[in-house]
Amino acid sequence: MTRIDPDRAALQAEPDRVLIFDTTLRDGEQSPGATMTNAEKLEIAQMLDDMGVDIIEAGFPIASEGDFEAVKAIARASRNATICGLARANLADIDRCWEAVKHAESPRIHTFIGTSPLHRAIPDLTQDEMAERIHETVTHARNLCDNVQWSPMDATRTEWDYLRRVVEIAIRAGATTINIPDTVGYTAPVESADLIRRLIAEVEDADKVIFSTHCHNDLGMATANSLAAVAGGARQIECTVNGLGERAGNTALEEVVMALKVRNDIMPWRTHVDSRKIMNISRRVATVSGFSVQYNKAIVGKNAFAHESGIHQDGMLKNAETFEIMRPEDVGLTATNIVLGKHSGRAALRSKLKDLGYELAGNQLNDMFVRFKALADRKKEVFDDDLIALMRESEIEG
Ligand code: KIV
Ligand code: ZN
């Protein structure tokens, strides 16, 4: 009898569950300049494991001795997540990958080949030759490991008939997850949902596997495409912390996790990720990869929970839901950041001064407001120390 891999068992137990497959350490690290040391990779893997990520793609074991050792160390150390390694469609890659991931309690081999006309031209294989290669390599992987993921790279630019054919071959050869990569970020939400829906409807034995989505962000649609794929029936999202990844990056883990949490009313699927750990891992990945997070990045950007304008600050001070759809605590922040600058109003100034121990009203507040605005015109942001200095000045002169 065939054993059901633990990831599939998890989905069977909770039909509304979506598995989160993090590839920060593989696709994320492929971002030019984002190389991490093995110690850093192990640290990030432990954070991912601890926050409830279901599958961690720890690296590409045949790429280098260092990558092999990193995947092996992560496989040994992880307690909860399935540990996956990447392998091209050849036996040597797959064997090397298995040597690294087999140390995990729950290992997975992920093997792939480019199936679109442009990608088929690179190894110069005919459709039939490639189909034979897929059969041979997936069968080999499955003989080593119960949990095998197969990806037709550039699936979204592969002819439908050929895509269906090779997916069926991979399923017959024993793949347990079929991942559909939008390798160059070319698809759009409507198409992304339709493709998964059609695969599930038309591929033979589609119900025997998990369908997964892997999107790149070249047109800024990776998160939308991933969520659309879930609406179409995908039950695994591949993503990276901070959206790290080649070119414009991959789907951002924090975005899909928070979108499914905040809009569960219209997207009724759940992840097991503890969103309160998002900010910590975002900062750590930014530090070790050397890729800082843009200020206005959704969820984890410095300004994602910051307010400077008077109208927004006044609304926020009365009721945080006026201008925030998520609670800062839910992503691991302690509080909303009320930034004092030239757009800020009296309510925010009074509240900030109160936090600093000054209860002002009437003329005193008016006087401070004039001083504050004059300073804010000269300075982008007015900090606590600036306000304390202004208070002293006002007390001496007033
Ligand atoms: O983008 C891609 O196609 C990939 C595959 C290896 C899954 O990263
Ligand atoms: Zn990719």
Spell out the per-residue pLDDT of the chain, length 398, in tens: 456 788 999 999 999 999 999 999 999 999 999 999 999 999 999 999 999 999 999 999 999 999 999 999 999 999 999 999 999 999 999 999 999 999 999 999 999 999 999 999 999 899 999 999 999 999 999 999 999 999 999 999 999 999 999 999 999 999 999 999 999 999 999 999 999 999 999 999 999 999 999 999 999 999 999 999 999 999 999 999 999 999 999 999 999 999 999 999 999 999 999 999 999 999 999 999 999 999 999 999 999 999 888 889 888 889 888 888 999 999 999 888 899 999 999 999 999 999 999 999 899 999 999 999 999 999 989 999 999 999 999 988 86
Spatial CA neighbour of 260 closest among 280, 239, 230, 216: 230
Sequence-distant (6+) residues with CB within 8 A of 350 are: 360, 361, 365
Rg (C-alpha) for the chain, rounded Å, is 25
Whether 250 lines ligand 1, by a CB cut-off of 6 Å, is no
Percent helix, strand, coil in the chain, to 5, is 50, 15, 35
Contacts with 127 (C-beta within 8 Å, 6 or more apart), sequence order: 120, 162, 165
For 4-57, give the DSSP string. Answer: PPHHHHHHHH-TTB-EEEE-IIIIITTSTT----HHHHHHHHHHHHHHT-SEEE
Residue 23 CA: nearest ligand 1 atom is 8
> Contact, 19 vs 235, CB < 8 A?
yes
CA of 358 to the centre of ligand 1 (A): 56
* Residue 248 φ then ψ, to 5°: -85, 5
**Cβ(181) – ligand 1 distance below 6 Å:** yes
**pLDDT for 4:** 75
Q: Which ligand is nearest to the CA of 86?
A: 1
CA of 149 to the centre of ligand 1 (A): 12
Please state the φ and ψ torsions of residue 229, each to the nearest 5 degrees.
-60, -40
CA 174 to centroid of ligand 2, rounded, Å: 22
> For residue 324, what pLDDT is reported?
87
Residue 27 beta carbon below 6 angstroms from any ligand 1 atom: yes
Q: Which residues, including other chains, have CB under 8 Å from residue 102's CB and lie 6 or more apart?
A: 75, 144, 145
250 assigned to a ligand binding site: yes
138-141: long-range contacts at Cβ-Cβ below 8 A with a sequence spacing of 24 or more?
138/111, 138/169, 138/170, 138/173, 138/174, 138/175, 139/173, 139/174, 140/91, 140/94, 141/87, 141/94, 141/98, 141/109, 141/111, 141/174
Give the single-character DSSP code of 321: G
Q: Which pLDDT value is given to residue 1?
A: 46
Query: What is the number of the ligand 1 atom nearest to the C-alpha of 114?
Result: 3
Burial of residue 276, with CB atoms counted within 10 A of its CB: 0-12 exposed, 13-18 middle, 19 or more buried = middle
Nearest C-alpha neighbor of 278 from the set 255, 296, 260? 255
pTM of the model as a whole:
0.93
Report the alpha-carbon distance of residue 300 to residue 293 in Å, rounded.
8
Ligand 1 pocket, residue 112 CB under 6 Å: yes
Residue that the structure tokens 């390798």 belong to: 183
Give the DSSP H/E element, type plus range, for residue 101.
helix 91-101
Does the CB atom of residue 61 touch ligand 1 within 6 A?
A: no
Question: Which ligand places an atom closest to the C-alpha of 184?
Answer: 1
**Four-point Cα dihedral 64, 68, 69, 73, nearest 10:** 150
Closest to 113 in 3D by CA, of 177, 181, 159, 62: 181
16 is in an annotated binding site: no
Of 22, 183, 225, 237, which is best to mutate to test ligand 1, by the most ligand atoms within 8 angstroms of its C-beta?
183
Cα(225)–Cα(215) distance, integer angstroms: 7
Report CA(214)–ligand 2 centroid distance (Å): 7
The secondary structure of residue 295, as a DSSP letter, is T
For residue 384 the two structure tokens come to 């606590």
Name every residue whose Cβ is closer than 8 Å to that of residue 324 and which is 6 or more positions away in sequence: 305, 316, 336
Q: Is 21 in the pocket of ligand 1 (CB under 6 A)?
A: no
On whether the CB atoms of residues 306 and 344 are closer than 8 A, the answer is: no
| Residue 27, annotated as binding a ligand | yes
Atom of ligand 1 nearest to the CA of 250: 1
Instruction: Indicate if ipTM > 0.95.
Output: yes
H/E segment holding residue 177: strand 177-182
140 is an annotated ligand-binding site residue:
no
State both tokens at 363. Answer: 């003329």
Residue 2: predicted pLDDT:
53
